[in-house]
Amino acid sequence: MLDDAEDDIHPLFAGAPSTTEFRKLRKRIVRQAREAIDQYGMIERGARWLVCLSGGKDSFTLLAALHELQWRGLLPVDLLACNLDQGQPGFPATVLPEFLTRMGVPHRIDHRDTYSIVMDKVPEGRTYCALCSRLRRGHLYRIAREEGCSAIVLGHHRDDILETFFMNLFHGSRLATMPPKLVNEEGDLFVYRPLAYVAEADCDRFARAMNYPVIPCNLCGSQDGLQRMQVKALLDQWERNHPGRRQKMFRALMNARPSHLLDPALFDFAGLTRPAPGADGDVPTP
């Protein structure tokens, strides 16, 4: 269906470049989002999703892909875009509501000064990300409940998932990453990541080509030496030396073998036995 009715697209794609290269990029992103949604069982027919919009390239890509799928009848859920204005100095508060109104996208803008809390609580020299993320997530859960949503939907892409895996490996001593689908600790909301299969470079090319009003996060970006930035640089170097390595590592996350790891909670090593000789009634071969 993505190859049909090229001119019949959601307004979020209005003014899109007509080049073959861009059409392939758009179709790839929408197809990969649909594959993740289907493979991880995200659709509950008639549900309402809170689509979290930070104003970055990834969340714009997420918004466009979901509305394209909904437009084509492939995503039978109600979508509500939401931006949490965290009170960051210099944040262009009118950009997103004006854009969403112009695109005809249902939305909610919520104002909460978490910026001051982060700056007050985080010691000098420490990174802001953990506390900022925790505060933001708590407010998004609250908004989702107020709006009758069953899920919050985030714009994390393939590279975010890989970086988180290596962050946990190098600094957390565990094999874990951002799953495409999970249930929050309270057990009342899903968290979805439909861009799990989409490369960051594709999000960047797409948002640039569409000339979306991308808003950088200067709070996090102003800090040097973040561990995530170091991991990203490492992955970039690997990709330059061996093109395609990112995708191979991502595929490995989908091909785990508990019996070939070391976690006894995942595999019963202690109970592992071998068949006794001749247990099937056959005479053992001398």
Q: What is the pLDDT along the chain (286 residues), one digit of tens a residue?
A: 454 445 566 778 878 899 999 999 999 999 999 999 999 999 998 899 999 998 999 999 999 999 999 999 999 999 999 998 877 777 888 999 999 999 999 999 998 887 778 777 777 766 767 777 788 888 899 999 999 999 999 999 999 999 999 999 998 899 999 999 999 999 999 999 999 999 999 999 999 999 999 987 665 544 444 788 889 999 999 999 999 999 999 999 999 999 999 999 999 999 999 887 765 655 555 4
Give dist(CA 165, CA 202) in Å, integer: 20
- What pTM was estimated for this model as a whole? 0.88
Q: What is the Cα–Cα distance from 286 to 282, expressed in whole angstroms?
A: 12
Instruction: Write the single-letter amino acid at 97.
Output: P
Instruction: In whole angstroms, give the CA distance from residue 92 to residue 218.
Output: 12
CB half-sphere exposure, 204, CA atoms < 13 A = 6
Assess contact for 51 and 79: CB atoms under 8 A.
Answer: yes
What 8-state DSSP symbol labels residue 172? I
Q: Which of 55, 66, 96 is nearest to 216 (CA)?
A: 55
How many whole angstroms separate alpha carbon 112 and alpha carbon 85? 6
Facing residues of 84 across strands?
A: 110
Which residue from 32, 22, 98, 97 is spatially nearest to 66, judged by alpha carbons?
Answer: 32
3-state secondary structure of 20: helix
Q: What does the pLDDT read at residue 183?
A: 97
Topology of the domain covering 11-255: Rossmann fold (3.40.50)
Q: What is the pLDDT of residue 1?
A: 42
Q: What is the pLDDT of residue 278?
A: 66
> What pLDDT, on a 0 to 100 scale, did the predictor assign at position 228?
82
- Name which of 29, 15, 108, 109 is nearest 68 in CA terms: 29
Distance (Å, whole) CA 128 – CA 133:
8
Say which residue the tokens 């708590």 belong to.
Answer: 138
In terms of Cβ atoms closer than 10 Å to its own Cβ (0-12, 13-18, 19+), residue 197 is buried
pLDDT for residue 108: 96
Is residue 263 exposed (0-12), middle (13-18) or buried (19+ Cβ within 10 Å)? exposed
- DSSP type of residue 266: T
Q: How far apart are CA 210 and CA 38, in angstroms?
A: 26
Q: Where are the beta strands (DSSP E) in 16-77?
A: 48-52
